[in-house]
Structures are given as structure tokens and as C-alpha cells.
Amino acid sequence: MSSKPSPPPPAAQLDVELVTLFPEIFDSFLRASLLGKAIDAGVVRVHRTNPRDFARGRHRQVDDSPYGGGPGMILRPEPVAAAIEAVEAERGRAHRLLLSPSGRLFDQALAAELASRGRLMLVCGRYEGVDERIADLFADEVVSIGDYVLAGGEVAAAVIIEAVARLVPSVLGCEASTIDESFTAGRLEYPQWTRPPSFRGLGVPEILLSGNHAQVAKWRRLESLQRTRVRRPDLLARHPVTEDERVLLDGGVARRRKRPPHER
């Protein structure tokens, strides 16, 4: 009996190349939850490549002290460059991100843009930084996940993978969730409740039990707006209150919810 050659696997919808000195950091992260399922299903594919495998010498040293002096060690450019080039020689060009606290801030808009690219490379720094020639020669973008300094780019890469992967249609069990988010750009999410109806003396806002979908939607927009005003005035400054929202605030569905201590 002649056996037919099996067809090539379908292309992943998101293809991620991680360049990291600590590939094991991602072990459980890539196995768990919806991302793990998406990887099992071949919808998301992640390869990990260690620059140390490309380092020369008996000790395979990947770092060195900074020119000009100063604390800490800097990742040498050769093993990182060799890792990037080996990955792309084997699997093709990717949109390359270098993770660094001195990069452009990662946000939902960048997550959406990266999701549409399909093939990404996340280069993780360690130590005090990466020789600047890696950014100059290879990075399409330098990206930071926030104004704090991590010990390396691995956790930042995990954040980016999770935020991007959940925008791939078949990853997030419920696509409506992302559609909802896109309508509320520049506003924090409204609060949500589930069963039981009473928990440790706290109930659930009555409107949510009313079955009146139009009123629920209105109430949620107001909650979202008020929460943004209190917690993230910077967002409100960048995305000013619209005419619609002004009407909502003025005519307002009254806030009947008692403020919890963290909101007072």
C-alpha cells in the first residue's frame, strides 16, 4: 500500500521567534491556558533561540563590560546577531522587536499592529543592556512594556506575546471581547460581576440584573468613563470626553454603587 505524503502543516496565524538567554523562563507560560491550546492547535507557533549557542570560546561568554566604564555587563553583539541571522536563514524575515526599558511604550494599538504582522521576533536583553549596534543593525522597533526596569526582556516578551496572541481570532475563545475593547479605546474597562448575587455583604448593581440591555450598555459606558477619570486622568487628557459622553455625564445614570475603599 502506498502511503501519501502528509500535507504540510497549515501556516500559523502568529509566528513568534524568541531570542533569549533564558528560554526556560517561557516553559509554563507557553503551555498554559488559551495560549497553550493555540500552540497545540498550530494557530500560534513559538521558536526559542539562545544567543549563547552562537557564542564562541570555551566559556561561551555572551557579555562584557561597557566601554567608557560603568556598572554591570553588556550583551555582546556577535552572539545576538548570529542568533537573529540563523533564525531568519531558517524560517524567514520577521518584524524584529528589541525589548528595552528605553524603547517606545507598548500599548493596545501596538499589540493590534503586531498581530496583523503575523511573524515577529522578540529579542530579549539581559544584564545592563545590549550593545547598541544590535538596535542599529537589526531592530525594526525598540519596545518597552512600562516605565520600570526588569532584569531582562523575557517577561516583557511574555507580556507582548499574550497581548498579541489574544487578538488572533481563533485564540481568544470569545471574539466579542476584543470587539468590545476596540469600542472603548482610551477608556478603562467597566467593572463586572458574576454569581453569587451577594458576597460578603456586597451585592451587584441592580441595573445589571434588569435585563434592559440598552440601560446596561449606558451604565457601563458611564462607569468606564468615571473610572477613567479617577484612575487614569492621563488617558482622558489624550482622549477627551466626547459629545456623547458629556450628555451621559450630565444627564447621568446616577452612580448608585457605594465606592469601595480603593476608589475613595
Residues that bind ligand ADE (CB under 6 A): 99-101, 125, 144-146, 148-150, 152-153, 156
23 or 152: whose CB is closer to ligand ADE?
Answer: 152
Q: Output the CA torsion sign for 245, 247, 253, 259.
A: positive
Residues pairing with 15 in the sheet = 45, 119
Q: How far is the CB of 16 from ligand ADE (least distance, A)?
A: 16
Cell numbers 482622558 correspond to 236
Q: How far is the CB of 208 from ligand ADE (least distance, A)?
A: 37
Q: How far is the CB of 118 from ligand ADE (least distance, A)?
A: 22
Angle at Cα 16 formed by Cα 12 and Cα 21, nearest 5°?
A: 150
Residue pair 208/260 in contact (Cβ under 8 Å)? The answer is no
Q: What is the DSSP letter of 41?
A: T
99 or 165: whose CB is closer to ligand ADE?
Answer: 99
CB atoms near residue 162 (< 10 Å):
15
Q: How far is the CB of 119 from ligand ADE (least distance, A)?
A: 20
Q: How far is the CB of 146 from ligand ADE (least distance, A)?
A: 5
Cis peptide bond upstream of 5, omega within 30: no
100 or 224: whose CB is closer to ligand ADE?
Answer: 100
79 or 153: whose CB is closer to ligand ADE?
Answer: 153
Q: How far is the CB of 152 from ligand ADE (least distance, A)?
A: 6
15 or 154: whose CB is closer to ligand ADE?
Answer: 154
Instruction: Classify strands 74-75 and 63-64 as parallel, antiparallel or unpaired.
Output: antiparallel
104 or 117: whose CB is closer to ligand ADE?
Answer: 104
Q: What is the DSSP letter of 126?
A: B
Residue pair 101/145 in contact (Cβ under 8 Å)? The answer is no
In angstroms, the CA 220 to CA 212 distance is: 12
